[in-house]
Amino acid sequence: MFQFKQFLIDDTHCAMKVGTDGVLLGAWASVAGSRRILDIGCGSGLIALMAAQRAETAQVVAVEIDPEAVADARLNAARSPFSDRVEVVEADVMRFAKDYSGQRFDCILSNPPYHQESLLPPSATRATARHTAGGGLGFEALLEAARLLADADCPDTRLALILPAPALPCFLPLAALYGWHLRRRTHVVTRKGKPAKRVLLEWSLREGALEENTLELVGTDGRRSADYTALCEDFYL
């Protein structure tokens, strides 16, 4: 159980547990002003609920293929203050993208599977949650689904992800091919001077200037840095 300021997350049955990556993306992504938010591969529903908390009038749809994770996400959404604005759908995201008949989304979020090595963990659900192979959501499928579900008529439609730094040489050219223009990039480092292990990325359907910075997670005193604390202050107790 993870108690945040406004909601509780139970990830008992999820292959991908609550972690720093999800919290960072949920706190960092530009959701202000969004009307319809999509969380692809929602797991326990953490990012969807963070988005619902930050975008107080938005409708949030969270899509997840693993039925056990869906059960956790639905429970977490139902007992949150945002239950009337969060819908959890059990579906493969590509089929969802092709069959979905509702309105398009002006904000799409995902903490996607990113491990690309061929050696998979013994748990099939963990392989799906963490790996692009072995049943996991591949980068091209993610980008195609996002493009199909994006509201092309909204000038502020955006796609936000968190990825490991080594995945960028593969992912960035693919995103451009699917019509996404990189607008924000935050390199996440544990301490000042260390290489980035994760990168927060946000694209738009419109071209524009790129904002780029670095976020240090740990300060010189060994505690959470001031920037990390400020970013997550509405969520961490």
Give mean pLDDT, residues 198-203: 98
Q: Which fold has domain 2-232?
A: Rossmann fold (3.40.50)
Give mean pLDDT, residues 66-85: 98
Sheet holding 107-110, edge to edge: 86-90, 59-64, 36-40, 107-110, 158-164, 198-204, 181-189, 211-216
For the stretch 11-40, pLDDT in tens is 999 988 999 999 999 999 999 999 999 999
Does residue 115 register a pLDDT over 50?
no
pLDDT value of residue 114 = 65
Give mean pLDDT, residues 145-169: 96
- HEC sequence for the chain: CEECCCCEECCCCCCCCCCHHHHHHHHHCCCCCCCEEEEECCCCCHHHHHHHHHCCCCEEEEEECCHHHHHHHHHHHHCCCCCCCEEEEECCHHHHHHHCCCCCECEEEECCCCECCCCCCCCHHHHHHHECCCCCCCHHHHHHHHHHHECCCCCCCEEEEEEEHHHHHHHHHHHHHCCCEEEEEEEEECCCCCCCCEEEEEEECCCCCCEEEEEECECCCCCECHHHHHHHCCCCC
| Mean model confidence pLDDT for the chain | 91
Give mean pLDDT, residues 200-225: 97
Percentage of the chain beyond pLDDT 70 is 90
Give mean pLDDT, residues 201-218: 97
For the stretch 150-161, pLDDT in tens is 999 998 999 999
Which residues have C-beta within 8 Å of that of residue 120, sequence separation ≥ 6?
127, 131, 133, 134
Give mean pLDDT, residues 87-93: 97
Question: What is the rounded CA–CA span in Å between residue 146 and residue 132?
Answer: 16
φ and ψ at residue 81, rounded to 5 degrees:
-70, -5
As a whole number of Å, the CA-based R_g of the chain is: 17
Give mean pLDDT, residues 39-53: 97
Which residues is 164 bridged to in the sheet? 198
193: phi > 0 → left, psi -120 to 50 → alpha, else beta; which?
A: left
